[in-house]
Structure formats: C-alpha cells, structure tokens
A and B are shown apart, each in its own frame.
Chain A
Amino acid sequence: MSADFDVVAGDDIAFGKAMAAAGFVDDEKAMHGQGGWYHPAHPQFAVEQVSGGYFDGRADKARCLKLTVRDDAAIVLPAIEDMIADRLGQHEVAGGDMSMLEQARALYALAEGLDLAYLYRRIVEESGNPAHLGLSKGHEDA
C-alpha cells in the first residue's frame, strides 16, 4: 500500500468535473502532465490520472470488477489477473526490488476463481515470468 491512487479515464474533462463535484481539489503540480487531485478530508492520499490506454490496450476491460460503495457510487478495479501480470512484469525490470513479486504472490494467493489461461497470457504479454507463481506453458491452454 502507498498513498497514491492511479486512475484511467477515457474523458479528461468529464473526469475532472466529476472529481471536482465529489469535492476533490487540484494538486497544482500534477503528475505526468495529467490530472492530479486530493480530497481535503483525506489529505494523506493523492489521486493521479495516468496517461495511456488501459494496460496499453492488452487487457480485457470486460474482466474489470465493479465494486458498489453506496447508492450509485462504485469503483471499478482491474481484473486480478491483470494486476498480477502487471506486478510480475514490473518485477522483471525492478532490479532487485522484490515488492512487486510479493504483491503478485499475495494477489495470487488471495484471489478466487482465477482464469489461469488468461493470467498466463497476460503475464507473458507483460514480460513477466509465470514460473514465479508455479505456472507453466500448460496453463496457456487451460
């Protein structure tokens, strides 16, 4: 866990308006040239709108998980398979930082109903090593 939330939004203007309507204020030195916000009631956190497509267009958005919070409010998270693959890919270029591998292992251990064929494909696409999770090529066609 860290203090930042990364968000992918398809419509910059609409997303900015929605954040303002929810009480978020601009972080004046926004990151990556995109929007950055924080909420005055929760100043210990930062929200960043990240650039680029959702996992560079390789992930299946239909696999996202929508979690309802209250009334009509909800957050949409990437599929666990995509988060695991992302962490394993980052681990390969992390130069000894084991935290990405440990995150992948934790997600793998806690997840239920993983699509192992999709997971295997996504790990390979992210240049990760499926063997870190005990997965082999046989899972590609599972």
Chain B
Amino acid sequence: MKTLELDGYLADVNARKAKLAPNGAVPAVESCRNGGARRTAEKRSALKRADARAKVAGMQPVLSNY
C-alpha cells in the first residue's frame, strides 16, 4: 500500500487544482456536491442530526442535501 504524508498530499492536489481550474478542467465544487436524491432514509436522518448538532454548538453545518 502506498503511503504519503497528508499535508503534502493535500498541497499537491491543491497545486494541481490551481493549475487546472482556470482552464475549466476541474468541475466546480457545487456541481460535485451530492444532490441527495438517492440517499437512504437512514442517511438522511444521520445528516439531519449532524446538521442539528452543528447548530446547537454554534457551528456552521456542512451543506449535505439531505
């Protein structure tokens, strides 16, 4: 199994993204976000609970389309 250091890996990905994105080669984040249409009821419930926990804690919930 290949092993890399997380920070270095993320830096490489971000560098490639910065290089390719101006040419439109990388889809926008929002177009990649799961639309949620095929989520199971259990998954929707779990995401809803995560959303509620974040709000109670005063944190920004992660947009998850549940």
Interface residues of A (CB under 8 A from B): 1-4, 27, 29-32, 36, 38, 43-46, 48, 61-69, 74-76, 90, 93-100, 102-103, 105-106, 109-110, 112
**18 chain-A/chain-B pairs, Cβ below 8 angstroms:** A1-B62, A29-B42, A43-B53, A43-B57, A44-B53, A44-B54, A44-B62, A46-B46, A64-B1, A64-B2, A66-B4, A68-B3, A74-B3, A90-B38, A93-B38, A94-B37, A98-B31, A112-B16
Q: Mark B1-29, 1 if CB is under 8 A from A, else 0.
A: 11111100100110011001000011101
Least Cβ distance of B25 to chain A in Å? 5
Name the residue in A1, A61, A66, A95 with the highest tally of chain B Cβ atoms < 10 Å from its Cβ: A1
Q: Known: A2-B47, A106-B26. Is A38-B53 also a contact (CB below 8 A)? A: yes
CA distance A105 to B27 in the complex (A): 7
